[in-house]
Structure 1
Amino acid sequence: MANRSETLFTEAQEHLVGGVNSAVRAFRSVGGTPVFMRRGEGAWIEDEDGKQYVDYVLSYGPLAIGHAHPEVVEAISRTAANGTSFGAPTALETELATVVKGIMPSIERIRMVNSGTEACLSAVRLARGYTGRDRILKFRGNYHGHVDALLVEAGSGVLTLGIPGSPGVPAAVTEMTLTAPYNDIEAVRTLFETYGDTIAAVLVEPVSGNMNCVPALPEFLQGLRTLCDDSGAMLVFDEVMSGFRASLGGAQGRYGVTPDLTALGKVIGGGLPVGALGGRAEVMDYLAPTGPVYQAGTLSGNPLAMASGLATLRNLSRPDVHAQAEAWTTRLLEGLQARARAAGIPLVTHQAGTMFGLFFTDAPSVVRFEDVAECDGERFVRFFHGMLEAGVYFAPSAFEAGFVSTAHDEAALSHTLDAAERVFATL
């Protein structure tokens, strides 16, 4: 007999494109049927058949304090009772902006938007408007949302589905997009020697979460900062994933490199759709209504997302909360490495705060997209399904990062490591 997820997926395919509303959810790269979830609490989620899983997807990052956290639920409920959207300013927008600015000192002004994609799109437009230049430089395997000009050699679902680019994006749109290998500052320097006075911005994930979790080398980020300073280009950090995860202050706080602009999302909505663009006041003030670069959105800064984000960031900012979640992540990876070694399975792990990556490879390091692409994808598929069967939920793609929340506890750790020990033995 079909389980509930199989029945629901069959029905969904009659109405939704591919049966899903985001491509990676379709399980195309791992095979099988997507698991339909019906509830979550803390570190655990439950599918439509009542089976429970330790969750390391966490809605691809936003749930930094776990599912259905009482403070978040209460904030959303209280706010919704007074109205869900006004298309007018509210005090909550300023409150959340103030909290974000207090955590990330590089941000002097903020514009709230509705997604990470929108934040990156707005960053590109603003950088071009401010500098009067047209070219954008990005990196192979970095994904900045489904923005036409940024789908060149992108990561995340584009890699998962094996799509090299995307039909529907005219060549004229991408001809102003330069690409370079991630973590290769010499390749970037070469591009600047040729195109430096035409480059408006360098857009980078300081911790890549879309070719699995690959942190930038510290000298790479500092090299980008120097090249941008010397050429007059904007350095844009896409911290949609790494913000409030690589450290409380994001990757820029962890590595001590200050960008001109920062794209945010995920955690600042606490599970509701949200994004933000922030940076130096003189640059941000080029946005309308104070400047000539137009950007607007009816639901930008909507009360529900602001309330959810406030509750999340205030909780995450309490003393030792983030540090304890980082320490838990370290214990998880150490436990997985020990069990992989015992089973003779080559495994490289990466950690950046509460983000992590698992790579089935015997290579000494994984620092570029090319390294990720050479990992054992077939072994990952078997690992994924084995852990899924054992009640541990990882993203259904070898190109997606994993995430930990403050709700992950000893029970979740024991369950995960016991399952991993059994699964590694089958690989």
Structure 2
Amino acid sequence: MRYMATYDMMETIRNTNQWLGASALALGSYPAVAMMPNPAFQWLRAWGEVTERAFSRMVAKPDWGIGSVVGEDGRDHLVEVKVEVPRPFGDLIHFKVQGRAEMKRRVLLVAPMSGHYATLLRSTVISLLPDCEVYITDWHNARDIPVSEGKFDIEDYTLYLVDFMKHLGPNTHVIAVCQPAPLTLAATAYLAEEDPKAQPRSLTLIGGPIDPDATPTEVTDFGNRVTMGQLEQAMIQRVGYKYKGVGRKVYPGLLQLSSFIAMNMDNHSKAFADQIQRVAKGEAGEHDRHNKFYDEYLAVMDMTAEFYLSTVERIFKGLEIARNEFTVAGKKVDIGKITDVAVKTVEGEKDDISAPGQCVAALDLCTGLPDSKKANHLEPGAGHYGIFAGKSWRTNIRPLVLDFIDANSGPRVVAGKDTEAKAG
């Protein structure tokens, strides 16, 4: 599979389906066919519209689409998406609210690098903006990164997080969502030894696979059913000539998307069939529920091969975080060295990706942290998406996280002494 031709073949198939959809839309919308009132043309137009939109979204990075936020003064304040720290494989960006004094709560959202863009957390960002100064990790699509930039694996990812935390300073509160939870925990432990003053005040881990074997799911147990050789042969391809990253080994976004859809094929098939019917009847809208969800869900990005393979081998197979055996640049990272960063875990009762038990395992690893600095929340009835962006997040979890941040925003206690943390 590790050939450019394979990558280009997948892109060709996607492009062909986009073209077929656009052609069907054009034909079904052709004015002359209106003289023949046949429902077949209405269905053809509807099928073309839905198909063309779906396949075009697969290679487009979604916009943040956050125009303004209401301030305490009751006015709308424009939001500027500003690159705070530019890096080859991902930027630290800041949602700067114009005309508003800097908020006391400084939050770093660590977005997952698991197939989708950081915009997957758009609703999470929107919910936090009125009360926080929000920063987020904006990971780049590997197909657009030249081979000359070198590799990017889980150790590089961890060091990126270390640099971002150092940049923001010790008054930061970090929230890691799903995949980056174990690496964010490791980055915090790395700082605890290398630069304690740069540690964040609190760390909230939401639905992350700290210990995938605690309660295995179909997703987290996948790595145990295949060898690394089989995984590399089946999943890794080289970027084709169309993109800047030509020749780079990646786990293609289109291949990831096919896996996502295969997990719930019946639900996705019904969703698209229903949408075609709504379009044919004139009941669909540009920003209806279907389009709003699938515009984001279908927008996928390539991961570097070394990041994907090292994640499977070291986090899921080797359980290096769960066993506290993770190393960065040859140095062992001891999670027990975290002694004054408050840690909270959030899990969803019905999470079928990172099931309850996987994330809360982080608290047992923090052996140097007093119980007063640990917290856990299990959200009843919530699935994976709901705990960071759905109804459960908005109504229950977000207020609890903000309370946790406020409770750990006072002077940092080090060696029994209160010390004011230096502003970042």
The interval holding the TM-score normalised by the smaller chain is under 0.3
Say which one has the larger Rg.
Answer: 2
Larger RCO (CA within 8 A; separation ≥ 6): 1
Q: Normalising by the residue count of structure 1, what TM-score does the alignment of the two structures yield? A: 0.27
